Amino acid sequence: MDVKIEDSWKEVLKQEFNKPYFLQIATHLKTEKISGRTIYPPGSLIFNAFNTTPFEDVKIVLLGQDPYHGPGQAHGLSFSVQKGIPPPPSLINIFKELHNDVGMAIPKHGDLTHWAQQGVLLLNASLTVRANEPMSHAKIGWAEFTDSVISKVSALKEAVVFLLWGKFAQEKQTLVDATKHLVLKAAHPSPFSADKGFFGCKHFSKANTWLMSNGIDPVDWSLQ
């Protein structure tokens, strides 16, 4: 199956694209579109995280669960929204922690593309969702694909930071070789849980300290 995805990822994931589960994903999405369903993000942005952060550039994996399901929000990067769209509550809390951790000014937008361009893989466990129906594509096969992505990064790269926020993300820890990567866990930044261990986790400064200790350029977390 010819998937339009950045070349280095295409090479790393080539076996996945011909597996039955991936063909099932493609069939499911086509069927829903034919039936008039609205799916987010738009087709050209489904693999935006991979196209913006080539495999060889990955130094941090920030795992989300499900794309935003409102109009204009999701653009293929976990936690991120396009400029002009108000940042959702979880993202606002991420910015608060960033401010308290590294002194970053609270941005006026929620587009995290600048992070992705520096090697932060903003990966959702599901890459699509039906409009206004959260988790609607959680069981169509995406989890198998994104689990493979995490496993490939763990196996083939060195000294990557995995940011696992919330119970769902932390369940993916079994896919990561913690003997050569840094796994940082905290509560989810959602308003329902941010005060239970996300605020004060200092993951942004800890990630950069780890990267620099391994001879890797730190991430500039600021957003202009």
Task: Output the six-digit token pair for 4.
Answer: 């339009």
| Distance, CA of 8 to CA of 73 (rounded, Å) | 27
Q: One-letter amino acid identity for 165?
A: W
Peptide bond into 189 cis (omega under 30): no
Q: Is 172 within 8 Å of 61 (Cβ atoms)?
A: no
Task: Output the six-digit token pair for 66.
Answer: 């499900």
Q: How many degrees, rounded to 5, is the angle at CA 44 between CA 41 and CA 46?
A: 45
Q: Is 25 within 8 Å of 145 (Cβ atoms)?
A: yes
| Distance, CA of 74 to CA of 155 (rounded, Å) | 29
| Distance, CA of 92 to CA of 219 (rounded, Å) | 19
Kindly report the number of other CB atoms within 10 A of residue 98's CB atom. 21
Catalytic residue among 2, 66, 111, 147: 66
DSSP letter assigned to residue 26 = H
Q: Is 195 a residue of the active site?
A: no
Biggest CA-to-CA distance, the chain:
52
Q: One-letter amino acid identity for 134?
A: P
The catalytic residues are 66
